[in-house]
Structure 1
Amino acid sequence: MPTEMLWVAPTCALLIGYLLGSIPFGVLLTRWSGAGDVRLIGSGNIGATNVLRTGRKGLAAATLILDALKGVAAVLLAHRFAPGNEAVAAAGAFLGHCFPVWLRFRGGKGVATMLGIALALHWPVGLVYAAVWLLLLATLRMSSLAGIVAALSAPVSAALSGRFDLVLLFLSLALILVWKHGDNIERLLAGTEPRVGARAADAQSDDLPMNETPLNDSGV
């Protein structure tokens, strides 16, 4: 195979992953359901937690699941049509979610999509990710902190399970996710980050629903 052709498969995997990841399910579902534009609600974020601020838990759950499935689909398609480029497709899906061209590169924060990627690439890492996320969310009731720690657990659990080929990918995605949570981190350090379940009047965080019922599957 000519050297220049070696770039075709990874380039296609990256592009397809990006296009899948950039589908803004939070925006589409809220519009189709008549709930309005999620970007004009709450924090303006397109993730599941902000979708919850519409008051429709079903839409928030659907957004969470579909955002995770974007990562799963990208990996599985690469495995089927461009084997060996699953990690490239996964990176594309994550970048597409966080920086979708259709929304002027203002997307979500990647927690749910990274979960889907982890489950598809190496399910034990995905299970650890989900367990850390849900445990911290249930105990500390801070969605942002739960998502950040869960993401940082991925490269660690990949290394501990012997998947050193995935460590750099998970570390890179985790660092981007942490950067996307910059405002949340500032509030965490200042002790002003609201907890899941606080009243609507206190909903200033990108990770806080406007009702009083916690969403255990909170995702961004």
Structure 2
Amino acid sequence: MGPLSEIIFLVASYLFGCLNGAYYVGKQLSNQDVRSLGSSNAGARNAGRVFGRSAFIYTVIIDALKTIVPLLTAAFIFDINGVLLYLMGLAVLIGHIWPVQLQFSGGKGVVVYLAVALALVPITLLIVGGTLLIGLRIKRNFIVVGLIALSTIPVVLIVLSKLMLAFLFIIMLLIVILVHRNED
């Protein structure tokens, strides 16, 4: 595959990421921009707070699908793997957080981060879930416990000797943490 094809896959992945579930669900349900309501974030959690449980669920589904579809299509139809596939996951995350059509104001990337893990290394989600359950029994702060749970993905990948993939998840985790820095 040539450099132009790789760039096309990366740009397409970014554009998939720009399909912001919370924004479109908010527009569909009440013709409002979720970014001007609640926490002003175009993510599933804010959509759920502002528009209700069904908005949260629809947003998670949209954001997960927009991540899984390009990654699995690239892997299974175009036989793409390795670094390009990993960079495509990163491009979806960047598109979700900084969508061009929403003036670079999107979500915080948690669902996309988890969906990349689901597409590339689904076993890691068992560790994330277990960590989240145990952590919430100890401390009730969902954001802190959630970010700790998310950090288990690169650790598991290092243990599994998937170092390049671990590096990708470290980069994505740092981005997710940076956009969460103003949360409680």
- Fold shared per TM-score above 0.5: yes
1:132 & 1:30 partners in 2: Cα distance? 31
Q: Identity over aligned residues, as a percent? A: 30
TM-superposed CA distance for 1:127, in Å, is 2.7
2:129 & 2:11 partners in 1: Cα distance? 27
Equivalent pair of 1:158/1:164 in contact (CA under 8 Å) = yes
Equivalent pair of 1:119/1:127 in contact (CA under 8 Å) = no
Q: CA RMSD in A?
A: 1.9
1:6 and 1:64, CA in 2 relative to 1: closer, same or farther beyond 3 A?
Answer: same
1:76 aligns with 2:72: yes
TM-superposed CA distance for 1:88, in Å, is 1.7
Please name the residue that 1:54 is paired with.
50
1:51 alignment partner, SS class: helix
Alignment of 1:148-187 (within 5 A): 148-184=147-183
TM-superposed CA distance for 1:12, in Å, is 1.8
1:121 aligns with 2:120: yes
Greater Cα radius of gyration, structure 1 or 2: 1
1:134 and 1:36, CA in 2 relative to 1: closer, same or farther beyond 3 A?
Answer: farther
Report the structure, 1 or 2, having the larger helix content.
2
Please name the residue that 1:67 is paired with.
63
2:30 alignment partner, SS class: coil
Please name the residue that 1:218 is paired with.
none
1:119 and 1:97, CA in 2 relative to 1: closer, same or farther beyond 3 A?
Answer: same
TM-superposed CA distance for 1:123, in Å, is 1.1
Letter in 2 for 1:37: D
Q: TM-score, normalised by structure 2?
A: 0.89
Please name the residue that 2:140 is paired with.
141
Q: TM-score, normalised by structure 1?
A: 0.75
Please name the residue that 2:33 is paired with.
37
Q: Structure 1: any 5+ residue segments left out of the alignment?
A: 185-192, 194-220
TM-superposition CA deviations, 1:108-127 (whole Å, max 9, x none): 11111100000111111233
Q: Which runs of 4+ in 1 moved over 4 A?
A: none
Equivalent pair of 1:26/1:46 in contact (CA under 8 Å) = yes
2:2 alignment partner, SS class: helix
Please name the residue that 2:4 is paired with.
8
2:132 & 2:62 partners in 1: Cα distance? 18
